[in-house]
Homo-oligomer: A and B are copies of this chain.
Amino acid sequence: MISKSQLKLITSLSKKKYRDQHGFFIAEGPKVIAEFIAEGLEMQLHFTSEIVKNETSVYHQITPQELKKISNLTNPNTSLAVFKFPKQKANENKGICLVLDGIQDPGNLGTIIRLCDWFGVSQLVCSTDTVDCFNPKVVQATMGSLARLSIQYGDIEQKLSTTMLPIYGGVLEGSSVYSEKIEEDCYLVVGNEGNGISEKIIGLLTHKITIPQYGASQKTESLNVATAAAILLSEAMRPTGK
């Protein structure tokens, strides 16, 4: 059974405004839910169409029809849970801090979060116009990675204008990423899918870096932002010297 107030809460959580207000987000499917539990996130509600032996204030058995009603997925899985936002981890000023300037696509953000987790980049700073990391599509794509990273939203201009660390940015005309040494402790900025890094942030970069284009045609306008971030992070982390 799902109560009216629970239904209202869950429906509201598809909007960022209400996620922020409650401090809750939704995860779907046993595997994704298990990963968030394993990361120590506090589960508020758990609805499943599988058999629940002991219903509690958290665990509720529902019908597949009820699940379909509350699910954000085209093909709902067997379960949906409401989690409390993870505790904000302290910013360390150590290692690479990846900065996202206006990333719009939830798929790109999800891919970038998994990428950070893979390369041990634990700090992600997003401009306020970057898509919300608790957007259901991002949550489903990143799974546990989302809970392992420190993700902050805020005024990136202010943040970058007060740091003493080098600030690298992926642009179309800069020095080759294959010859530029990326410092161990630094900021690395990637920009919006259509427009790249915004002008006010370009002015703050201490190093403009580019992924060289090969081949005869050189007509591709740009790389997808997640693949560009992959190559930049790989170059920053690769163990051998340039």
Q: State the A residues within 8 Å of B (CB).
A: 107, 111, 114-115, 117-122, 143-145, 148, 178-179, 211, 213-217, 219-221, 223-224, 226-231, 234-235, 237-240, 242
Report whether A224 and B117 are in contact in the complex, using a CB–CB cutoff of 8 Å: no
| CB contact under 8 A between A214 and B119, given known A226-B226, A230-B227, A230-B231 | yes
Q: Which 6 A-B pairs have the closest CB atoms?
A: A120-B215, A120-B214, A227-B230, A230-B230, A231-B234, A117-B220
- This chain: how many copies in the complex? 2
Report whether B215 and A145 are in contact in the complex, using a CB–CB cutoff of 8 Å: no
| CB contact under 8 A between A230 and B223, given known A214-B119, A215-B119 | yes
A214 closest partner in B (C-beta): B120
Set of chain B residues within 8 Å of A228, measured between Cβ atoms: 230
| CB contact under 8 A between A145 and B220, given known A178-B240, A214-B119, A226-B226 | yes
A148 closest partner in B (C-beta): B217
Set of chain B residues within 8 Å of A234, measured between Cβ atoms: 211, 231, 234-235
Bound together, the chains give a CA A193 to CA B156 distance in angstroms of 33
Set of chain B residues within 8 Å of A221, measured between Cβ atoms: 143
Bound together, the chains give a CA A149 to CA B179 distance in angstroms of 28
Report whether B114 and A224 are in contact in the complex, using a CB–CB cutoff of 8 Å: yes
| CB contact under 8 A between A144 and B227, given known A107-B107, A118-B213, A178-B239 | no
| CB contact under 8 A between A224 and B111, given known A217-B148, A238-B178 | yes
Set of chain B residues within 8 Å of A237, measured between Cβ atoms: 214
- A215 contacts which of B114, B122, B220 (Cβ < 8 Å)? B122
From A211, A213, A215, name the one whose CB has the most chain B CB atoms within 10 angstroms.
A215
Cβ contacts A to B, 19 pairs, < 8 Å: A107-B107, A114-B227, A117-B215, A117-B219, A118-B211, A118-B215, A119-B215, A120-B213, A122-B215, A143-B221, A144-B220, A145-B219, A178-B239, A227-B229, A230-B230, A231-B231, A231-B234, A234-B234, A234-B235
Report whether A118 and B223 are in contact in the complex, using a CB–CB cutoff of 8 Å: yes
Bound together, the chains give a CA A202 to CA B242 distance in angstroms of 31
A-B contact sample (16 more), CB < 8 A, given A226-B227, A230-B230: A107-B107, A111-B226, A111-B227, A114-B223, A115-B224, A117-B220, A118-B213, A120-B214, A120-B215, A122-B215, A143-B221, A144-B219, A145-B220, A148-B217, A223-B230, A234-B234
